[in-house]
Amino acid sequence: MPRPIKVSLQPALHEANRLSWNAATPVHNSHKYSQANFFRDGGMTLFQEEKDPLGDVAGTRLLHLLCNAGQDTLSLARLGAVVTGVDISDGAIAFARSLSAETGISATFERADAYSWLKEAGERGEAFDIVFCSYGAFCWLSDLPLFAHLVRNVLTNNGRFICVEFHPAVLVFDSDWTPLFEYGSGAEPVTLQQGVEDYVAQSGVGLAPSGLSQGATFFSNPYPAYEFQWGLGDVISSFTASGLVIRHLEEYSYSNGCKLFDDMAGLPGGRWAMPDGRPKLPLMYGLVAGKHLP
């Protein structure tokens, strides 16, 4: 049974992050060449590390939380899932809806804070076979135990929560490997005065599989952002305390898409690895949780 939780939600900081993401989202997409044509030609933005735990999603009801501008959401729909994407950014959801219309790939997109959306969905009795999020999702959640509890409430009896996420061990460093953040500081927010940055320009084709355009240059976000540094122990304990069972946990010594550090080595398929001369670290991990063991 789920354990009682102490709520420490910080919606005011979520709202500040919405403004920062609204400023950054059009800049990110300015670097991605002809996304509509990419999808119309059969393109897919999911990596194998997401597709493997997802398995055959055809006909499943799938909820994609913190879906950003919807590229992965549409990729999930292309695999046959009935998908709802939820994101706090107005600009991201507007772009996702436009891309869905341009490509003819059907998905539902809703602009909302994940917490309020999940709470209302649970009260409506909605249930999903899969709840999914990936790559820089947990760092925007001010109350991870509450998030896990709300996710559990919208899973079907045999449903699964699946995420592929950047490893918190490397998120303590700045882009030049300077230790900057405390590991596992949890609900204590970290203020990013520079806001959400133009990480697509920094990462190149890894985050622009449709092709890289120069796009916006010299972007400076006028809105600060606030992150929450959850350790891997926080993640596991949050989901197990919610009543979910960890079915799978895997760490990876490379990063998909995003170039986390300035001197990373590029790998085939849009991946990034530790540079020569540095010891390997886990750069991301995959997690699968459900109400029961398989």
- Is the pLDDT assigned to residue 223 strictly greater than 80? yes
Alpha carbon 215 to chain centroid, angstroms: 23
Residue 22 pLDDT level (bands cut at 50, 70, 90): very high
Long-range contacts of 197-202 (CB under 8 A, 24+ apart): 197/24, 197/221, 198/24, 198/27, 198/28, 198/31, 199/28, 199/258, 199/259, 200/27, 200/28, 200/29, 200/31, 200/32, 201/27, 201/31, 202/175, 202/259
pTM summary value: 0.95
> At how many degrees (to 10) do helices 11-30 and 90-103 cross?
40
Q: 290 forms bridges with which residues in the sheet?
A: 160, 245
The burial of 90, by beta-carbon neighbours within 10 Å (0-12 exposed, 13-18 middle, 19 or more buried), is given as middle
SS3 of residue 162 by DSSP: strand
Say if residues 290 and 158 touch (Cβ distance below 8 Å): yes
* Residue 161 φ/ψ, nearest 5 degrees: -100, 130
Gyration radius of the chain over CA positions:
18
The tokens for 294 are: 């398989």
- What's the pLDDT tens digit per position in 88-126? 999 999 999 999 999 999 999 999 999 999 999 999 999
Is residue 63 scored above 60 in pLDDT? yes
- What is the Cα 255 distance to its own chain's centre? 13
**Predicted confidence band of residue 4 (pLDDT cuts 50, 70, 90):** low
Which pLDDT band, with edges at 50, 70 and 90, does 3 fall under?
low
Q: What percent of the chain has pLDDT above 90?
A: 79
Q: In what order do the strands lie in the sheet with 265-267?
A: 254-256, 271-273, 265-267
- Domains in the chain, please, with CATH? 11-290 (3.40.50.150)
- pLDDT tens for residues 193-203? 999 999 999 88
Q: Which of 33, 275, 35 is nearest to 176 (CA)?
A: 275
CA atoms of 139 and 180, how far apart (whole Å): 15
Confidence class for position 205, pLDDT limits 50, 70, 90: confident
